[in-house]
Chain A
Amino acid sequence: MPAFARYLAPLLAFLALAALLYKGLDIDPRTIPSPLIDKPAPAFKLPELKHPDKFISNADFQGKVTLLNVWATWCVACRQEHQNLVLLRQKGVDIYGLNYKDKRPAAEQWLQQFGNPYIVNAFDADGRVGIDWGVYGTPETFVIDKHGIIRHKHIGPITLNAIENEILPLVKKLREAN
């Protein structure tokens, strides 16, 4: 082996390892890729939060680009992202809510107090619909295209950065698509 290769090889190996580990710093182990991406939104039929006798199903948000936000009043990070959802609504994004394993009075009071960015909320009392959607930690937000296909899942609170660089560009792109 030529001398320069003998000294260069360990250096290159070290740099490769360093690059790998450096990339690892940015990876959040809590963010688990969803197998539902590019698949039809799982079917559900749930009572509405406000009107327990009225039902909402995934057919209701077909034909337009929508967000489905999974939230609960016991979820601290949901409180954190709530104002950003209100902002998204103001920017004209259609947001549906899945109120996950919550209590009706608490959820309604939350919406009165902090504002209601949702077109309508589905009430998933025992979390079964949450299981079908692969929900493992609130808040989670799905972006669903006009054909009812899930195109994106945002895990954790929606930040202003996520709105600008992730949600809004994707919603725009999906609206323009056929």
Chain B
Amino acid sequence: MRHERFASRYIQLILVLLVTLMSVNITPVRAAGLEAFDFTGKVDEDRFKALIVQLRCLVCQNQSLADSDAELAHDLRREIYEMMDQGKTDKQIVDFLVARYGEFVLYKPRVEPRTWILWYGPFGLLVIGLLVLMITVRKRKNQRETGFSEQEQQRLNELLGDEANPEPGQEGDKPA
């Protein structure tokens, strides 16, 4: 019996560890092909890397421009590098890409009327859930109060005796 309990504890611990490990992103930003760029000049390497991880490669859609080895990703990295070299801001570069490929290139969608449901939908659902919860709880409470007819309530009180329904004033009679 004790062994069994120990074993189940052990399994639990392993499961917790596994889930923790899985939730940690252990693959670093690989930044394929980055070595081809020269960061000794105007272009800041950190800024470049920070930007390309936010942008989606359109060929292999679940990879960022930093991760993807697709031909197009190479071209777009080169394009972004050159734009940075020309002194363009991050916003100008992102706008350049959105104008050509659409908002799909952004991993983080912009907040605008079209994406409101995406950004605020979960909060809406939360509010609906809370309302349903409140209504249900209130209804149950009412049911508890009016669930029995007067006769039934009397009979119940008789059965339960004073324990369940202490008479007012009785409390004060208790020895201190």
The chain A residues found within 8 Å of chain B, CB to CB, are 29-30, 32-36, 42, 101, 126-128, 130-134, 136-137
B61 contacts across to A, CB distance below 8 A: 29-30
Listed by A's residue number, 26 A-B pairs whose Cβ atoms lie within 8 Å are A29-B61, A32-B58, A32-B101, A32-B102, A33-B104, A34-B102, A35-B98, A35-B99, A35-B100, A35-B102, A42-B100, A101-B71, A126-B75, A127-B71, A127-B72, A131-B75, A131-B76, A131-B79, A131-B100, A132-B100, A133-B100, A134-B100, A134-B101, A136-B58, A136-B72, A137-B59
- Taking CB atoms, residues of chain A closer than 8 Å to B79 are 128, 131
How many B residues, CB 8 Å from partner?
Answer: 15
A143 to B75 CA separation, bound complex (whole angstroms): 25
The smallest C-beta distance from A104 to any residue of chain B, in angstroms, reads 18
B interface residue numbers (CB < 8 A to A): 58-59, 61, 71-72, 75-76, 79, 98-104
Given contacts A131-B75, A136-B72, A137-B58, contact A33 B102 (CB under 8 A): yes
Q: Using a Cβ cutoff of 8 Å, how many contacts connect chains A and B?
A: 41
Shortest Cβ distance from B61 into chain A, in angstroms? 7
Distance of A127 Cα from B75 Cα, bound (Å)? 8
Nearest chain B residue, comparing its CB with the CB of A127: B75
Closest to B99 in A: A35
Determine the chain B residues whose CB is within 8 A of the CB of A32 once the complex forms: 58, 101-102, 104
The 5 A-B pairs of least Cβ separation, nearest first, read A136-B58, A134-B100, A35-B102, A32-B104, A134-B101
- In this complex, the member of A132, A134, A136 whose beta carbon has the largest number of chain B beta carbons within 10 angstroms is A136
